[in-house]
Structure 1
Amino acid sequence: GMGGTTGNMSPSITAAHKIPTIGTQSWWLRENKLPTDDSHPLFSEYDIIIVGAGMTGTSCAYHLAKMMEAEQMKPKKVLVVEARQHVSCGATGRNGGHLWPRSKSELGDEEYFNFQEHCVRILRDKIKDIEEECEWAETGAVNVARFQDEIDDWDDFYDVSSDGVEMWNQQGIKKRIPQINEDNAIGGVFYKNCGQFYPQKFVHSLFNEAKDKVKFLFMTTVDSVEKNDSDFTLHVTQHANNEFHTGALTTKTLIHCTNAYVKNLPDYIQDSIIPFRGQVIITKPTDEKFGLIPHSLAFNDGFEYLIHRQKDRRIVFGGMRWVSESKEEHTIDDSDKHPEISEKLLENLCEWFPEANIEIETDWSGIMANTVDSKPIVGQLDSQNELIGVAFCGNGMPKSYGVGESLAHLAVNPLSREIPSCLKPDRFKGGTEGGGKRD
């Protein structure tokens, strides 16, 4: 079952339905406090309810607030329901701090690639507004090879001109990343438009801009969703001071932004998603003579990933889930971590950077979601007034802000945005009709 919650379970909620409201302590979230004004009635009617306040849901709320401000839409009652204590407490506040868009070859679909480019463009525009606050640094990123067969695969895989990448040999890597263990690093693929940032601070900024126009209800789980003729009823439980309060919220439009948490979605969506747990360590600041590692890095085909924070010289390093027998798949419990993975992360980091004198400051875990075809699920569900943006397949930062923006526009006008067909939910429908049960 799921650990990590406090207080008594109310009998109507099974352990399997619990999201741990308190996860492992992520360094990015160390200053998080529960917002004070959280006294919204648990029985009320809304025009739009967004479930989930990570990058996707908070972006959606922010774009709706912006449209109301600009009078591009009639004022509507909008509510965001979030299981945890604040925005950005899931994967957005637990990741590696990367903005690393995928190349055209990796996405394998022109329409999807163009959509990602749109998402990255508007995200970068917003980052520019709050660059200092969210600690953005453009660094470029390198996929580092340790074995010749990785390089052989890349030669077949990348189209250097259309992917906009550069191929580096062993000398090239050594010249550009002087700290790296040169025996281990035999080549690399360099991506230009990548960087590092502080996702939680970015999302907090969106929250602060949205909260006058949009209500946020924290520490509140959606236990079930009932689909009525023209609206939805959400049965919710608010967890406050070790007490449980249940309620029912109705909404004309429902937007799911829950990434890996899919129990309230139709069976055909649930069946297509594989949640998995990632683990991350952050080091104490490295000493000045070591210098800054100039680029974001990935090793082992992206299974390990690193930034060296320019602001405080801490290294953030994640991955190594293959150490675990289950590869950390099929779990949504981030209140727990796998001690061997953190040990292996430290060991691996020291192999790549033997001079670094590394000490772990802390470690944590976070939940991601893959799909059976390795693409997110975005768009209309079974009707125009039910929308979804979930399952970002471990690369949510380049895409989820833009998905939130698209969902906000679709909620106001169903014809305002064209979602790539390879991302739409109905690709998983197969022979089944209708939404299936949701319990």
Structure 2
Amino acid sequence: MPTSSATALTNLTKSLPISSPFAGPLTKWHMQIVSFARTHNPNIILFNSMIKGYSLSGPFEKSLHLFSLLRSRGVRPNEYTFTPLLKSSSGLCDCKLGQCVHAEIIRIGFERFGSIRIGIVEFYVTCERMEDARKMFDEMSYRDVVVWNLMIRGFCETGDVDMGLCLFRQMSERSVVSWNSMISCLAKSGRDSEALEIFGEMRDQGFELDEATVVIVLPVCARLGAVDVGQWIHSYLGSRGPLRNVISVGNSLVDFYCKCGKLEVAQRIFNEMPRKSVVSWNVMISGLAFNGEGEVGVELFEEMMNKAMSPNDATYVGILACCAHAGLVEKGRELFASMAAKHQIQPKLEHYGCMVDLLGRSGCVREAHGLIRNMPMKPNAALWGALLSACQEGRWDEVEKVRVLMKEKCVKKAPGQSMIE
């Protein structure tokens, strides 16, 4: 490669902004920055340490500026210099910069190092340049599980799940991360049955489940109605105390049992959780709404407030759904008003949807219509459809008006579509 790659890289780094070194109390990393600044002639080990530090904690452009400083002082980079530079290029979403780093790696003959090759693959995967990533991957004489996982993730995240699955099948050695990644990609692509099959293979091959496995697989079980598999996971967790007590694991179990209609089991798990996050409360409240126990959901929300837990957007979607299912119109109005007044949460489409559902179910069609007309954002098909459904249930004189409004706004209700999503 011509030496112009180094010049191009230097020119690009000069155009990057220089951020403030740090703010707030000194940490070990900040002390390292100060120590480096006081060193008159830092060697390559010190430069590499600083470049890596900025690539991990940011600001990413700092690591590129340090590389320019390194070159200007005549310090020769080594095999540990470039992987952090590639990571910083990814962090900056600057593909051109990363390509210049790659060109410099080739120029000085460092492409032969395995760690650098993995860094190049990771950079191209992050930039969604899968052809370039595949080219580097195919040229590697030895591919460890890390680079296989990177390629699988890259293909799946760019929409080529079949290629990701093909690579997964070619792996001679897999880690738990490999299994989790493949199951997650299939689930996100709506291929739940295949995801559960892969999980079955994971079990058969004796791999231990971790937090990510549980959080990924339980929603798949709920969607497929695979109660036996979900219960097996629950039983598996019973002999693994530390994992069982992880908040996200508890949340996933509660959500699974709620969606499978096993409300008593969900409530027991929720009550036994040693620690709860706002997500824990949200999952239980939404689960109660899902199972038609709106009044119990309102009671749980009040308990949450008494424990000084701060609600979020999702909390209000759940509690307003509880009010809709229980027909608690006044309570729903009160809670909707309290979102901004008490908790500085601005209502979104989902919250308006819950209120339209609540008012429509209770026969307050004109109020629901007024809410839609006065909302600060453009209503979607689900909102108009919910209003139309309310009209059809008992206010036939309003149906035609709503249909005309929907036609004027070019809104179509998809057949069989849920009105509150």
TM-score (norm 1): 0.18
Higher relative contact order (CA 8 A, sep 6+): 1
TM-score (norm 2): 0.19
